[in-house]
């Protein structure tokens, strides 16, 4: 009688250090469908459910393990527009102090705040994180002044939220819910279609009000003691306390009312905080003068690229509309690259460039 053949053994896997066990041999993986079913049971009734390949402009086969919104978040993290946010300012253009926020660190902080609200509220964390992470990908160089710079070149003007969703992020084929939350995160836009999008809108305001004040203190523009008592008495002077107070006020409101909002006392403090920042930081004479130089620089650059479309080397130059291609190219620039191009191709005097605090 022939001997019984020995069972085939799986080849030993490569490991980084020592083998760390997840489970027994044949341990089952949590595939996307199983995770969607679990998510459906755990999420709040009004939360957005992930479904298959997602609701996209171009249909895609579902991923075997990732939900559609997790897939969106991965695409955003790996995208060039998201990486370029590291070179775009939050408030201060190309500052010498590396600890001042950039658009990238702002986006990360918005995502932290938004997820801190979404998770205990039973909302879809992956959708919230994706929208928060991508919400400012439509910003041009040098902050909000770029919107004024580009608006004359586009029908209907340039709004960073709309441009980000409809132009910058379009090649990623993100889910419609993610793009809607990006498109409508600004408070001067229509309400988002999902509660996750509404959370991102609040998280954006909470994050930038708190960290822009902290940066302005570091830059010597304001002092902590100057924060109005209507703010300090409610949320404190330290950013950690302020964030905790605002987030807790939102969670208490969601729990009590079933709606995304903030308790009146904290909401009034947030509005007063934002008004203080506008008066003392965003609209101070130095900021206004800086914005005027930004607008002139970006408009000159855009006009130069309209006249020299062959100089556009990022694919936008293939667009049939030369003006739209120029706006697409210049709006994607980092601060330092835009400043360098102003000197190299426009002949600007470096002393006239908007820069620093």
Domains of the chain: 68-287 (1.10.3210.10)
Residue whose C-alpha is closest to residue 217's, from 202, 205, 232 = 232
In this prediction, residue 318 carries a pLDDT of: 63
**Model confidence band, residue 316 (pLDDT cutoffs 50, 70, 90):** low
In this prediction, residue 230 carries a pLDDT of: 97
C-alpha dist (Å) from residue 237 to 244, 268, 292, 307: 12, 16, 32, 50
Greater confidence (180 vs 17) lies with 180
In this prediction, residue 238 carries a pLDDT of: 96
| Mean of all residue pLDDT scores within the chain | 94
Average pLDDT score over residue span 182-204: 98
Residue 258 has pLDDT above 80, yes or no: yes
- Encode pLDDT of 26-44 as tens digits: 678 899 999 999 999 999 9
Q: What is the dihedral of CA 143, 149, 152, 158, to 10 degrees?
A: -10
At residue 264, φ and ψ (nearest 5 deg) are -60, -45
Q: Using an 8 Å Cβ cutoff, are 242 and 236 in contact?
A: yes
For a pLDDT cut of 90, what percent of the chain falls above it? Answer: 86
Hey, is 26 helix, strand or coil?
coil
Strand partners for 89? 102
Strand partners for 175? 56
Cα–Cα dist 51/161, whole Å: 25
Burial environment of residue 143 by CB neighbours within 10 A (0 to 12, 13 to 18, 19 or more): buried
Q: Using an 8 Å Cβ cutoff, are 242 and 210 in contact?
A: yes
In this prediction, residue 5 carries a pLDDT of: 61
Handedness of CA 174, 177, 182, 188 (dihedral sign): positive
**How many other CB atoms are found less than 10 A from the CB of residue 57?**
10
- Encode pLDDT of 7-25 as tens digits: 556 677 787 887 777 777 7
Average pLDDT score over residue span 232-259: 98
Residue 327 has pLDDT above 60, yes or no: yes
Burial environment of residue 180 by CB neighbours within 10 A (0 to 12, 13 to 18, 19 or more): buried
In this prediction, residue 27 carries a pLDDT of: 74
Average pLDDT score over residue span 330-343: 96
Residue whose C-alpha is closest to residue 125's, from 62, 234, 38 = 38
Residue 30 is given by DSSP the state: -
- Encode pLDDT of 81-116 as tens digits: 999 999 999 998 877 788 999 999 999 999 999 999
Least confident interval from 6-15, 47-56, 149-158, 285-294: 6-15
In this prediction, residue 11 carries a pLDDT of: 74
pTM over 0.95: no
- Encode pLDDT of 264-303 as tens digits: 999 999 999 999 999 999 999 999 999 999 999 999 999 9
Q: Using an 8 Å Cβ cutoff, are 47 and 120 in contact?
A: no
In this prediction, residue 71 carries a pLDDT of: 98
- Encode pLDDT of 137-147 as tens digits: 999 999 899 99
Average pLDDT score over residue span 168-187: 98
């Amino acid at each position: 009688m022939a001997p019984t053949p020995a069972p085939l053994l799986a080849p030993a896997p490569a490991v980084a250090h020592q083998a760390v066990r997840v489970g027994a041999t044949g341990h089952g993986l949590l595939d996307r469908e199983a995770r969607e079913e679990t998510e459906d049971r755990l999420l709040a009734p009004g939360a957005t459910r992930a479904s298959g390949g997602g609701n996209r402009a171009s249909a895609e086969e579902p991923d075997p393990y990732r939900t559609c919104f997790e897939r969106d978040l991965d695409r955003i993290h790996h995208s060039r527009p998201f990486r370029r946010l590291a070179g775009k300012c939050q408030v201060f253009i190309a500052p010498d102090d590396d600890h001042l926020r950039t658009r990238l660190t702002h986006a990360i902080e918005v995502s932290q705040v938004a997820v801190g609200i979404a998770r205990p509220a039973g909302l879809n964390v992956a959708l919230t994180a994706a929208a928060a992470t991508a919400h400012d990908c439509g910003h041009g160089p040098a902050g909000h002044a770029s919107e004024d710079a580009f608006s004359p070149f586009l029908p209907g003007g340039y709004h960073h939220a709309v441009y980000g969703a409809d132009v910058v992020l379009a090649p990623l084929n993100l889910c419609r819910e993610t793009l809607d939350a990006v498109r409508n995160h600004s408070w001067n836009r229509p309400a988002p279609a999902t509660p996750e999008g509404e959370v991102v809108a609040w998280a954006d305001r909470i994050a930038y009000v708190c960290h822009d004040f902290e940066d302005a203190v570091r830059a010597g523009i304001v002092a902590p003691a100057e924060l109005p008592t209507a703010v300090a008495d409610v949320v404190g002077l330290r950013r950690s306390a302020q964030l905790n107070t605002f987030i807790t006020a939102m969670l208490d409101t969601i729990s009590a009312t079933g709606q995304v909002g903030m308790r009146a006392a904290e909401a009034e403090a947030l509005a007063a905080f934002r008004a203080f920042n506008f008066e003392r930081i965003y609209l101070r004479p130095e900021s206004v003068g800086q914005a005027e130089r930004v607008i002139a620089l970006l408009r000159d650059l855009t006009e130069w690229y309209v006249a020299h479309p062959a100089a556009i080397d990022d694919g936008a130059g293939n667009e049939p509309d030369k003006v739209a291609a120029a706006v697409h190219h210049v709006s994607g620039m980092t601060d330092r690259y835009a400043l360098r191009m102003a000197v190299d191709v426009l002949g600007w005097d470096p002393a006239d460039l908007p820069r620093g605090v």
